[in-house]
Amino acid sequence: SDNFNVTINALDRAFSQTKKRGLTIRALLISNPSNPVGNILDSATLTMLLEFATEKNIHLICDEIYAGSVYDIPNFTSIAKVLESGEFDKSRVHIIYGTSKDLCLPGFRVGVIYSYNDKVLKAAQQMSRFCSVSSQTQHLLINMLSDAQFIQQYL
């Protein structure tokens, strides 16, 4: 990396070194915005990551749990926006998000997987049977997220 910024050279080098060790790389996991540094990946970098994942035929998982915790310029851009603007294999891109950071609900353990991949969604659905969200938490979140005035003020 270059000053904690992801570069294509660093990705290529890491990919090659890992392959030489006989390991299979199935995905690239990124955090945007990152923690603890707080770097925000711009559209050009996100496009580069999507192109890298496409070239290497791997999945790209983007953790956007801090998406609403950006206080300064540059503005946050979700990989979903970049994904929609290009010709990428949407079934290989997965976005994860949770309520613990932006909504200050760490004990609730509520998360979201945004994916076009039916296998990923089915696996997540099956896993949720072992750690389901309580009915009280569901009720609270439904009321909170259905409150248009709250959402408008919060965003």
In tens, the pLDDT along 46-97 reads 999 999 999 999 999 999 998 888 776 678 899 999 999 888 999 999 999 9
pLDDT the model gives residue 115: 97
Give pLDDT tens digits for 116-132: 999 999 999 998 888 88
Domains of the chain plus CATH, in order, are 8-116 (3.40.640.10)
Residue-averaged pLDDT of the chain? 90
pLDDT the model gives residue 71: 73
pLDDT tops 60 at residue 1: no
Contacts of 53 (CB under 8 A, 6+ apart): 28, 59, 60, 92, 93
Hey, which of 53-62, 98-107, 130-139 has the most confident mean pLDDT? 53-62
pLDDT the model gives residue 73: 65
Q: Return the C-alpha torsion angle 72, 77, 79, 83, nearest 10.
A: -170
Give pLDDT tens digits for 8-21: 999 999 999 999 99
Q: What is the DSSP letter of 149?
A: H
Task: Determine what percent of the chain falls in helix, strand and coil, rounding each to the nearest 5.
Answer: 45, 15, 40
pLDDT the model gives residue 133: 87
